[in-house]
Amino acid sequence: MSKPYNNTKATLALAKASFRSIMRSPSAVVFTLAFPLIFILVFGFLGRGGVKVDLAIAPGSDLQNPIVKALEQISVVHIIKDKDPAELKTGLEKGNIDAVINVQKNIQDAPAYLANVQYTSASIDKGTILKSVLNNLMYTLNSKDIKPSIAQLNESTVQGRVYRTIDFILPGQLGFSLLSTGVFGTAFVFFSLRQTLVIKRFFATPVSRASIVFGEGIARIGFALCGAVFIILIGHFFFHFTLIHGIITVLNMLLLAIIGLIVFMGFGFVVSGIAKSESTIPPISNIITLPQFLLSGTFFSIDAFPSWLQPISRALPLTYLNDAMRKVAFEGAGLWDVKHQILIMIIWGIGVYAVAVKVFKWE
């Protein structure tokens, strides 16, 4: 009794209890780890090879000719042989095959070969790639023995960093994992602690409200950071996720994660305050998380969205977290370089917590 009451001790005791509880709650683990990891695995494997054009060789086509030989050397082109005409037809219709080529020896003298290419409207973009590949190839083959009369084109590519699908997908998944843990986790925990009278029992002890909020916050941030480290490590070691400055990059990402998570937890406090029953928490949370999941550049760059959607995307906090994460991880930006993104997240945070203070309920 003579000792003054220790708020830090109370906060840490709560953080420890909450952390244990989260680790034992299947839904928290699924949302934070399993979902992002599944997406990362799927995109990680999908994205390994980059763009491929599936080019089938028509039955009866000549195979021993310079055109097919050259095509086989081109990494973008994936040659498919031994398909019968029916398979080719459906393949083209569905877009599983991007084009069919038929090369025949010319009965007349020149040119030596005739190549017929059939494209499909089911795969126009890949057809276009193939078209330019073929043009290039034909030009090279046809002009092999001829000196150019006007100019010779020499092409070369600067060897840059390889930007893999994982470099885009992983930060997006990480951001979404933080968003769902922040919103769902916080909303559920405070709602149910209130509903099951756990908070009431807490209030019979000298613990302060601030300790309860901070204790829960520390536990959730701790848990989410463990998840983030796990996701980053899996991405890095299994799918070559780019971490330009290694551990420094990871630390910067974790700092960004904390900022994002604090903002997202604010949404969680709001939801726990306005939800009337446990079953209204998921729909209300989804109203907050789904638009961000879809519009914040989790799967596609927001530049790919129609122009009327882009302003909405650029208003969402997750957009800025994703953006900052990608800049830090792939471009090696420091936190100061993404101050603009951080500032917008902080503005969101101030707004959200202003609402949270108004609607949050203790009992």
Partner 1 sequence: MDKTNAIISVKELVKKYDDFTAVKGISFEVYENEIFGLLGPNGAGKTTTLEIIETLREKTSGEIIVDGYSVDKDANKIKRIIGVQLQAAGYYPNLNLVELMELFSGLYGVDIKPMEMLEKVNLQDKARAKYKALSGGQKQRFSIATTLINSPKIIFLDEPTTGLDPQARRNLWDLIIDIRNNGTTVVITTHYMDEAEQLCDRVAFVERGEIIALDTPDNLIDNLINSGFERTKEVKKANLEDVFINLTGKEWREDN
Maximum separation of any 2 CA atoms in the chain, in Å: 109
Q: Which stretch binds partner 1 (CB under 8 A): 36-44, 48-56, 98-106, 201-209?
A: 201-209
Closest C-alpha to 261, from 213, 214, 224, 210: 224
Q: Is 18 in the site for partner 1 (CB under 8 A)?
A: yes
Q: What is the residue whose two structure tokens read 């799967």? A: 299
Q: Is 222 in the site for partner 1 (CB under 8 A)?
A: no
Nearest approach, Cβ of residue 189 and partner 1 (Å):
9
Ordered DSSP codes for 299-324 = SS-GGGS-TTTHHHHTT-HHHHHHHH
Q: Which stretch binds partner 1 (CB under 8 A): 106-114, 149-157, 169-177, 204-212?
A: 204-212
Q: Is 219 in the site for partner 1 (CB under 8 A)?
A: no
| Nearest to partner 1 of 1, 158 (CB atom) | 1
Q: Is 104 in the site for partner 1 (CB under 8 A)?
A: no
Q: Which stretch binds partner 1 (CB under 8 A): 42-50, 96-104, 194-202, 262-270?
A: 194-202
Residue among 202, 223, 269, 293 that touches partner 1 (CB under 8 A): 202
Q: Is 9 in the site for partner 1 (CB under 8 A)?
A: yes
- Per CB under 8 A, contacts with partner 1 among 24-83 are 24-25
| Nearest to partner 1 of 193, 221 (CB atom) | 193
Nearest approach, Cβ of residue 2 and partner 1 (Å):
11
Residue among 48, 94, 200, 340 that touches partner 1 (CB under 8 A): 200
How many Cα atoms within 13 Å fall on the side-chain side of residue 219? 24
As a 3-state breakdown, the chain gives helix, strand, coil percent values, each rounded to 5, of 65, 5, 30
| Nearest to partner 1 of 14, 37 (CB atom) | 14
Nearest approach, Cβ of residue 164 and partner 1 (Å):
39
Neighbours of 359 (CB within 10 A): 12
d(CA 253, CA 268): 22
Q: Is 258 in the site for partner 1 (CB under 8 A)?
A: no
d(CA 192, CA 199): 9
Closest C-alpha to 176, from 272, 269, 289, 309: 289
Sheet-wide strand order for 53-57: 77-80, 53-57, 99-105, 113-119
Closest C-alpha to 182, from 358, 5, 353, 357: 353
Residue among 52, 161, 201, 339 that touches partner 1 (CB under 8 A): 201
Letter string b/e over residues 338-356, b meaning 16 or more CB atoms within 10 A of that residue's CB: beebbebbbebbeebbeeb
Q: Is 361 in the site for partner 1 (CB under 8 A)?
A: no
SS3 for 79? strand
| Nearest to partner 1 of 81, 201 (CB atom) | 201
Residue among 14, 56, 68, 284 that touches partner 1 (CB under 8 A): 14
Instruction: Give the orientation angle of helix 339-359 with respect to helix 247-274, to 10 degrees.
Output: 20
| Nearest to partner 1 of 137, 193 (CB atom) | 193
Nearest approach, Cβ of residue 5 and partner 1 (Å):
5
Nearest approach, Cβ of residue 205 and partner 1 (Å):
4
Residue among 10, 270, 275, 288 that touches partner 1 (CB under 8 A): 10
Q: Compute φ and ψ for 4, nearest 5 degrees.
A: -70, 155
How many Cα atoms within 13 Å fall on the side-chain side of residue 362? 11
Nearest approach, Cβ of residue 29 and partner 1 (Å):
12
Q: Is 193 in the site for partner 1 (CB under 8 A)?
A: yes
Q: In the chain, at which residue ranges do the beta strands (DSSP E only) sit?
A: 53-57, 77-80, 99-105, 113-119
Nearest approach, Cβ of residue 258 and partner 1 (Å):
24
Q: What is the dihedral of CA 192, 197, 201, 206, to 10 degrees?
A: 60
Q: Which stretch binds partner 1 (CB under 8 A): 14-22, 67-75, 136-144, 301-309?
A: 14-22
Question: Using CB under 8 A as the criterion, which residues of the chain lie in contact with partner 1 when the complex forms?
Answer: 1, 3, 5-6, 9-10, 12-14, 16-18, 20-21, 24-25, 192-193, 196-198, 200-207
